[in-house]
Amino acid sequence: MAKEIQFSLVYRDMWQSSGKYVPRADQLVRVAPAIIDMGCFDRIETNGGAFEQVNLLFGENPNKAVRAWTAPFNKAGIQTHMLERGLNALRMNPVPADVRALMFKVKKAQGVDIARSFCGLNDHRNLKLSIEGAKNAGMISQASLSVTYSPVHTVEYYMGVVDKLAEYGADEICLKDMAGVGRPGFLGALVGEIKKRYPHLKVQYHGHSGPGFAVASMLEVARAGADCLDVAVEPLSWGKVHPDVITIQQMLRYEGFLVKDINMDAYMQVRSLTQEFIDDFLGYWINPSNSKMTSLLVGCGLPGGMMGSMMADLKGFQAAINASERATGKPQSSLDTLMVKLFNEVEYVWPRLGYPPLVTPFSQYVKNTALMNLLALSQDKPRFSTIDKDTWGMILGRMGTLPGPLAPEIVALAKEKGMEFFTGNPQDNYPDELPKFRAMMDEKGWDYGQDDEELFELAMHERQYLDYRSGVAKERFNKELEDLKAKAGAPIVIKRPVVEMPAFDIDSLVAAHPGAVAVQAPVKGGLLWQVDVADNSAAPAVGSAVKAGQTIGYVQAFYGMEEIKAACDGRLLAVPAAQGDKVEKNQIVALIEP
């Protein structure tokens, strides 16, 4: 009988790997029915890492968001899963044991079925409490392996971790290939060994598409016995994110696996709504480079989701590095040159810091150290002149055991600074804190919330929760969004040009026709006019009558076609953008006189 492969839509991670924010609760509730109607998903990743913080940054209640988002999937019998970071739970720094235990109880009560837990260092001790906490709360415990490619990350290494996770009672194993650098043959061998040794454990594969291995990797793990694959949907699939469900489903069906059908009408609805959320406001924080795959990620092993923040960091460092290069008589580095230098420096730094898998937060530590090294080298200073305190915490073992040995120069530097290495259980460094937060809520007269969820949120994200309760967070977010919209500029009714239009004097046109309405490109891409033109070779005729909502053209984006619609009834006053032009989002492509 053909083996069944299930699909999980990682809707949360699709957004987190693309930009800063995720959709609001009201948007998630709108897209949920269409996701269900697609009919091909047994699981949905609904929440976890960054989700709660993002809602707090919106000035919204994350607990209400989780309950509203999981409810339709619970009703439809589709399992929901969250992502948590072991010792760090839902944040970037370690969390006390009592707060970690409360998290699982709260999330189960909110409708989350599966806890995917990972430790960025693959220290099984950091996952023991997660497995126990999830099972005690009645959740399915899915313990994850942070997959990377290095001399120390062998099948034998990972099986040593799996042995401990199975001993602790994990129900499932996830291969979290967060940078997509796991070689397909290696991943297949690892899945095969897990299934051979622990046939009762369900195996789920999570791989990003950035370096280009993902499709081959999914085929290899399926052949080796994997049970479930994480996939995405347009317009956020591929690039630095995840493979699209259509491609993976068709590939596996051809190979003889049993996979569910996809309701394509529902797929297009999910696609459309996702694009609508991008256009609404989320796109302001999505770096365009995240839509592109790059083989440069193969060597450095950095997660694709870091590319946006990394490029922002590089831009910030470029001026300082260029100033140092000028002062020392060296040629100045362009941004592209710096990117390659940074990738090379990550390759240099990573083994010397003990090969920590490049996943949150350890990817940031390695990247930050590499950035500081580039600055030091530009100033003729030695590498590792500056290492931040969090990176030192990783180096000294306060977050777990590093997979590989530290370079002698790093050990010598630690001793020179009088630092001590820690070999105990990392959790012991962080005493319980719930009594402190109960007292804080009692003092303020705040209710602990349904199933203690408000207490949990304060304890997990203290600063962000206080800003949410005070209203500061919402004010800050609204101001940030207003500033970005103002910077982008794009009012529908225009009184001045938004973009340069050399062939047309738009100011004069608008002055002569003060009610002129702009038609704008909905996305970035290639322009295709299709109004009464059989061969699609020319723009629509100036003076043509149009109706509000009428499709007058298309933009070919990287993920497909987007319609250009007339904003009102009237006649075409001007068509400054020609067939085949490359247009930017919100660029004026026509003017209509009502």
pLDDT at site 531: 44
At residue 535, the pLDDT reads: 39
For each of the domains in the chain, give its residue range(s) and CATH number, in order of start.
1-80+232-290 (no CATH), 433-483 (no CATH), 506-593 (2.40.50.100)
Handedness of CA 434, 435, 438, 440 (dihedral sign): negative
pLDDT of residue 536: 38
For 214-227, write each residue's pLDDT tens digit: 999 999 999 999 99
Residue 565 vs residue 448, higher pLDDT: 448
> Which residue is it, tokens 């020319």?
538
Beta-carbon count within 10 A of 349 CB = 24
DSSP-assigned beta bridge partners for residue 164: none
pLDDT band at 513 (very low <50, low <70, confident <90, very high): low
Torsion, Cα 196 199 202 208, to 10 degrees, reads 10
DSSP state of 258: B
User: How much of the chain exceeds pLDDT 90, in percent?
Assistant: 64
HEC assignment per residue over 68-128: HHHHHHHHHCCEEEEEECHHHCCCCCCCCHHHHHHHHHHHHHCCCCEEEECCCCCCHHHHH
Give 271's contacts (C-beta < 8 A, 6+ positions apart).
233, 234, 235, 559, 560
Decide: helix, strand or coil at residue 325: helix
Average pLDDT over residues 416-429: 95
| Interval 73-81 mean pLDDT | 98
DSSP per-residue string spanning 420-438: ----S-GGGGS---HHHHH
Q: What percent of the chain has pLDDT over 70?
A: 91
Mean pLDDT, residues 76-84 taken together? 98
